[in-house]
Chain A
Amino acid sequence: MTMPPESGPGFLKREAVPVVVFALLALLPFVAVLGAESYLLSLVTRVMIFAIAALSLDLILGYGALVSFGHAAFLGLGGYAVGILSAHGQTDALVQLPVALAVSALFALVTGALSLRTKGVYFIMITLAFGQMAFFLAVSLAAYGGDDGMTLSGRSRLFGLDLFKNDRAFYYAVLLALLGAYGLCRSIVVSRFGRVIRGARENPQRMAAIGFPLFRYQLVGYVIAGTLCGLAGFLLANQAEFVSPAYMTWQRSGELIVMVVLGGLGTLHGAIIGAAAFLLLEEWLSGFTEHWKMIFGPFLVLVVLFARGGLMGAIRRLGGGGHG
């Protein structure tokens, strides 16, 4: 049995990908002074926000094999918590953030408890339907912009200070949130709890036969993932200073799945890379043609048919990095 030590050169080698990713993200604002700073900053901020959402999805999809197709609902819930509170004059993040998280957790608890009673395609379709329900709820909120969404009066304040107004400060706040979310997920997947979730992915019957009532573990996992994604929604609303039902279309849920799979399921840093790959690809392709989806759609089909394990899998294969 080989158990690599926690520190030393082994650590750097094993953790090379996340270390490089976070180092690049931390340095970017300094490099980006050349010209297109604000464009690049806002693009990468967006990437990091979606990375949090993808990370949260990877927790249940990659580690728990729960194909949730309504995850974008939590982006919307987090976003609307910010929007609705600030419309009523409550702009402090110390109020907005807990509300955003609590609303997301509650929605996850209720819909998760119903969805997890089912399996397989039923689970996929039911999470999809609940996501759609949240979408229609937002559309019907005429007082808060309905279909068109609502513009915020500004970003959240902290202790009444307008800290996040500065794009660079906001960038680092988002980076911190991403780092925190990543650390939390890393901790969870190797913890006792995470081991139960991973075991359920491999063989649910075996897990039940050694005494784990899986429903409650999966439900807690679902709530954690939903809450984390609510955090992403909170940040997204702040970045755009705008919320709309478009946050929670089912296509958006599909895109989150694409990000996770593109980066490689069940790797966590893969979710970050996948979010970056997806958004940058979208940015790049739509620079060529407004019909970028005609390129991206078939690309997706080809990835599924020929490149199992996503981009991280491809990188690992190219590097000849043994057996994953």
Chain B
Amino acid sequence: MKKKWNIPPGMKDVLPGEARKRRRLVNELMDTFASYGYEEVGTSSLEFYDVVERDGMDAAEVFKLIDREGQILALRPDVTTPIARMVASRLRDRRLPFRLSYTGSTFRYETVQVGRQREFTQVGVELIGSDDLMADLEVLLLAIESVERTGIKEFKIGIGEINITQGFLNEMLVDEELVEEARELVISKNFVGLEALLLEHADAEKAQIFLKLVRKNGGAEILEEIEGYSEGIEYQAAMAGLKELAKVVREYGYEDRIFFDFSILRSFSYYTGIVFEGYAEGIGHPICGGGRYDGLLGMFGFEAPAVGFAMGVERVMIARNVKDDPEKKDVLILGDDYTQIVKKARELRAEGKRVEIDLTSADLAEAAAYMEEKGIERLFVMENDNDGE
């Protein structure tokens, strides 16, 4: 039997048409980021594992390899952590804040599903050096505008707050392992398991309040309802921030795009404030996500507050479901004289035409068939010294 050349599970070839569509989407998003003053940076696909480890992701989800010195390397599972590492080591002397944008492949050892592959493209921004609410707002509004730019119509951004949800858990459960267990149950929306755990380990009254909190989901009006759930200083400060944020979002005209959901925690452990995720019809996983992460840069020796978000390009492509748009070419040049052909091609390209030189056609009929298949509009036949169309 003939050998089949498969690729590893969760990896993907991108063919013409789709590749172009993807490139255009990425460019559109990067241009949107640039209009807010974000400058593109790049980090390498491979990092030392002890850098990647700081994001708190399950070690089993990270692709690792060992170099010849025996050091463990990892394919980056996100770009935020490498950027934090880069900023802390390479950009720390420059004037804050930094507005950085990126696009690139990221890798996670996931159970493969539609919209959840092991290599996926992210585009995103990091706003580093400000803990002002304005920074949270900028990133959130940019996220909403970015999703709109992709052409997805039906989408919503769910907003949570680590200081509210995690803060409540920390206070109620104290024990770190229990907090982590409860956190996982909140993330996976296992309300049944969560209730069982809290009833066993937490104060019954507080447990009921917390269950109400994580089940709440809705517009700015729910902020009023949950305001009195805790007297804690951090809780109240976070609440004040969210109310201000909700007010600006409403006045900006994006009220219908957001909702609050205090079960949103995100799986990365580096978040410290507002967190958000975007959901679109037709795809089972968030199309974008982000939030505030004030402690991450500090792990690399440079204390700086930061907020950012990333969008999953493949997921956006599934959600917006735009059909392939194959590359159009303008002219096919046919002829025998190589010098004449390349000169003519240069001339036409200088006029902005997309020009392809014929390599296979024996006659005009064959050329016509080729043009039909490839979507080329015009034929240019170079005949000995007197050219014509």
A and B bind = no
